[in-house]
Structure 1
Amino acid sequence: MILIMVTTGFFCSGQSSTDSVYVGTLDSTKNVQSQKPSIKLNENNFNTKYEYTESNGARIIIQNSFPKSGINYTDPNGKKYIYAVFWTQIINETFDPLELTIDFPLDSFEIPSSSGNYMRLLLPYDTMTIDKEPLYDYGLTIYFFFLDNNLHKSSSLKRTINPKDSSSFHVVTLYNHGINGTLRTGLGLLKKNLFYRINNKEIHC
């Protein structure tokens, strides 16, 4: 049985705080041992960390970033949006390949606590790497070209994450006006189903 633990960190006045809560279980029949991958990153750079852990130490870890940017984007028809860039890292600390498939819906949805503000989720083609973390927009360099050509298309991602390895990817949130308060997102797993949380709203993907 794999136990899902969510660790959420947030910042206020230069100080950090961490809360932990159990949110579900994930069945597993594999008998494996855990080894940490070589990739290291300051965990204070992540907003949420999900750990799916077996009793023998085998783990899948999902880490979700804080947002960057929030700059205006104008589509080819002149409609204005605001965007923010996030990124997610998935670490496979097992002996088995992890097949990852994410499908974001084409339709936009209303943002919780921001009435009349609608959001789209998009997965750019750029590959996120740890060295891009301190860069503007997390090193995403083709987002205007990508948005121009994918604004009205569904967005998906498929990857195989080998044992003792990790994979990272950008997520662009696109919405039609500014948000009152903070915007926090993150990928999570409940049983074998992925979801992407935007504040208190869960999008099954």
Structure 2
Amino acid sequence: RAALVAHVVRGLVHAAGGVVVAGRGPVVRPVPVPGVELLRSLGPDAARWALLQPAGHDLPDLDPSRLLSQREDNPLFRVRYAHARTRALMRNAGQLGLAAEPQPESGAYDHPAETGLLALLADHPRTIEAAARHRAPDQLARHLVGVADAFFRFHDRFHDDCPVLPSHQHKPSAVHRSRLALADATGAVLAGGLHLLGISAPEHL
């Protein structure tokens, strides 16, 4: 776990624009421990999440029934599913000939579901910097869960009265294009964050 955290932190430092300086610190030598076969059975993505998501002073949860569950109570599934949903929206938008266009006007995103998601997206660079500075990939993992949950609130809030994509009875509008841009940015943040943790971000789940 220590070796994995050190490896991820180096990537976070580079992503934040810093330089990794080789110091005279303790050498981490992985040794066989009970549970290593369990980690292998989880697969690389779930195993990495299990080791990186908890704070450094907390023990990882290695329960396969939770880590491999494709339900809402699994944070990793929520993050990856949110990413997959954003990619599906972009594919469907392409079929409709609808392009994402952020609204430059101040106050264009005025609903709490929009502003909440936008605030988390804007905080992403600072989160990466803080995770690198404190050698705490768990901060990034928790941030990604927050972004995913905010995306679902945003998507579900507008699904019936004014969805991200226009339905048959609605023509594409600037509102649709601006919300599509917000979904596209969410997908980029989730994919980028998972990549920094060494976890895949599939476009289909």
* TM-score category (smaller protein): under 0.3
Q: Larger radius of gyration, structure 1 or 2? A: 2
Q: Which has the higher strand share?
A: 1
Which of 1 and 2 has higher RCO (CA within 8 Å, sep 6+)?
A: 2
